[in-house]
Structure 1
């Protein structure tokens, strides 16, 4: 099956590379040509435009930074896609966005599948990220082989829109855990504990979390380099708050975390690493959270 892949940023570049390494015929495009040499070296074919990428493809995969960008790309590719082809959206979109855009795709005679991913860029690089799927079982089965080379855990959540909901839930939890981990590490530091040993003890305890075990290392290194921005965090938290209003669920912790990230963006900018949210506490207290032996990036 021949795929087009549009959106080769921090996440999409790794996902496309996994497809290319597995031998799927692949045409790729991004407005930034920085990934061109790498993907051509893996056997992918570079396209100069989204429309050129999708011409004749069995499916197009998009991995883009916002619903607005996804919609703009769809405007370009729908006229060029063949009848019966599928659109696989791996961006993190709101449920209303994925449903609205999927209706346009289906009205044009094509299938739609939402497949946001979770687990971090480092797992995408290893082909071990978690894939959350929403859409018809038949379309999912058609593309499961490609999804399986990008992620080692795949969950079919139900119809279109269901993957958007669970992805927002998982990201909301991650951001809450991140703020909590910063407070925990700061308490350890100000209490006179060795931070490396404290991190290890927490990781081996009932208080550990995926965020502590991964992003906590980047905080202690001081790089904060998780390849995920404040703007993206606030986008996902905004989706979570909207779901809370829709379903009548009080979102106390999510609301506090959202406001903390608003402060973080004001302090460091929307393009700052989301892990720099912990730096707010470091700066207020004049106390850094550095420790030896932690990586600048997750491998």
Structure 2
């Protein structure tokens, strides 16, 4: 069993850390909002800083909102880098499971490699439900040697763990994932709004579509949330908006046009402008409803 550090215990990180504790690993935990008492009761140890986590752990996992958060935790005052061991015979592994910039990811890896330690990016898809049920899809960028070491640990948190390529490849894959997911959610919103505006029960339309080629997780999960008007996260709009900013910035650097992604990003921007930063990303439908002057209505049975 490994000694693992886990930094970032929010909606996603808390259940992920819980699976590792239940898997028999010793965990040192840190979160800027405090370490949940139930994780300590399960056997986790609270640490006062990322530096303290790094002093104890062989593998350090971060699960944080954005690129600047990861950089601060790694290299800021009392950060992970301050606590890494200087013994040439002991190489620690930092595994970032956040969704951040691929370019910054590669820069972080270079800085940590220079200190004699390994780095992997392992962003996830599956949302809070996937984190709770340990059914996340995990996309890994790392050397083959590092991947082989961390794969059994990642497998405790996800049902699918794929080695995409070298460091940064996991984040590229996550950007691709967010392009697909955001477009799918927006398409579901358009379809259900269209049906409702036409006077047809959107719940029955969703049920029918789930049996055909339009079936998707977005239709299954987010379509239900739209019909039931359940817009608590889930995956917050502010985070999905951040991911699409990364996608569009990276696409610009590559000379690639992503017109649908740009449109969806603007709908998320409108949600932010209307106080929706903490809404579930299915609430993108609210902006389409404003344009149509019609709210999706579930018909009575």
TM-score where L is the length of structure 1: 0.93
Asked if residue 136 in structure 1 is aligned to residue 143 in structure 2, the reply is yes
Unaligned runs of 5+ in 2: none
Between the aligned partners of 1:284 and 1:256, the Cα distance in structure 2 is: 14
- What does residue range 154-165 of structure 1 map to in structure 2 within 5 Å? 154-165=161-172
Which residue of structure 1 lines up, in the alignment, with residue 282 of structure 2? 275
Q: Answer with 204-213 or 265-274: which moved more.
A: 265-274
How far residue 279 of structure 1 moved from its aligned partner, in angstroms, is 0.9
Which residue of structure 2 lines up, in the alignment, with residue 297 of structure 1? none
Which residue of structure 2 lines up, in the alignment, with residue 21 of structure 1? 22
Instruction: Kindly indicate whether the alpha-carbon contact (under 8 Å) linking 2:196 and 2:297 is maintained by their aligned counterparts in 1.
Output: no
Instruction: Kindly indicate whether the alpha-carbon contact (under 8 Å) linking 2:233 and 2:279 is maintained by their aligned counterparts in 1.
Output: no
- What does residue range 171-182 of structure 1 map to in structure 2 within 5 Å? 171-182=178-189
Query: Secondary structure of 2:274's match?
Result: helix
Which residue of structure 1 lines up, in the alignment, with residue 234 of structure 2? 227
Between the aligned partners of 2:271 and 2:215, the Cα distance in structure 1 is: 24
Instruction: Kindly indicate whether the alpha-carbon contact (under 8 Å) linking 1:172 and 1:254 is maintained by their aligned counterparts in 2.
Output: yes
Between the aligned partners of 1:224 and 1:213, the Cα distance in structure 2 is: 15
CA RMSD of aligned residues (A): 1.6
Between the aligned partners of 1:269 and 1:288, the Cα distance in structure 2 is: 17
How far residue 74 of structure 1 moved from its aligned partner, in angstroms, is 0.7
Measured against aligned partners, the alpha-carbon deviations of 1:256-278 in whole angstroms (never above 9, x if no partner) come to 11222222211234333322111
How far residue 136 of structure 1 moved from its aligned partner, in angstroms, is 0.5
- What does residue range 137-286 of structure 1 map to in structure 2 within 5 Å? 137-286=144-293
Instruction: Kindly indicate whether the alpha-carbon contact (under 8 Å) linking 2:5 and 2:56 is maintained by their aligned counterparts in 1.
Output: no
How far residue 292 of structure 1 moved from its aligned partner, in angstroms, is 8.1
Which residue of structure 2 lines up, in the alignment, with residue 78 of structure 1? 81
Between the aligned partners of 1:144 and 1:66, the Cα distance in structure 2 is: 24
Q: Answer with 6-15 or 264-273: which moved more.
A: 264-273
What is the aligned length?
Answer: 292
Instruction: Kindly indicate whether the alpha-carbon contact (under 8 Å) linking 1:5 and 1:29 is maintained by their aligned counterparts in 2.
Output: yes
How far residue 189 of structure 1 moved from its aligned partner, in angstroms, is 0.8
Instruction: Kindly indicate whether the alpha-carbon contact (under 8 Å) linking 1:135 and 1:158 is maintained by their aligned counterparts in 2.
Output: yes
Which residue of structure 1 lines up, in the alignment, with residue 56 of structure 2? 56
Which residue of structure 2 lines up, in the alignment, with residue 3 of structure 1? 4
Query: Secondary structure of 2:32's match?
Result: coil
Asked if residue 125 in structure 1 is aligned to residue 128 in structure 2, the reply is no
Query: Secondary structure of 1:60's match?
Result: strand
Between the aligned partners of 1:249 and 1:155, the Cα distance in structure 2 is: 25
Which residue of structure 1 lines up, in the alignment, with residue 296 of structure 2? 289
Q: Answer with 167-176 or 186-195: which moved more.
A: 186-195
Which residue of structure 1 lines up, in the alignment, with residue 45 of structure 2? 45
Instruction: Kindly indicate whether the alpha-carbon contact (under 8 Å) linking 1:195 and 1:291 is maintained by their aligned counterparts in 2.
Output: yes
Unaligned runs of 5+ in 1: 294-299
Measured against aligned partners, the alpha-carbon deviations of 1:214-244 in whole angstroms (never above 9, x if no partner) come to 1111111211223222221121111111232
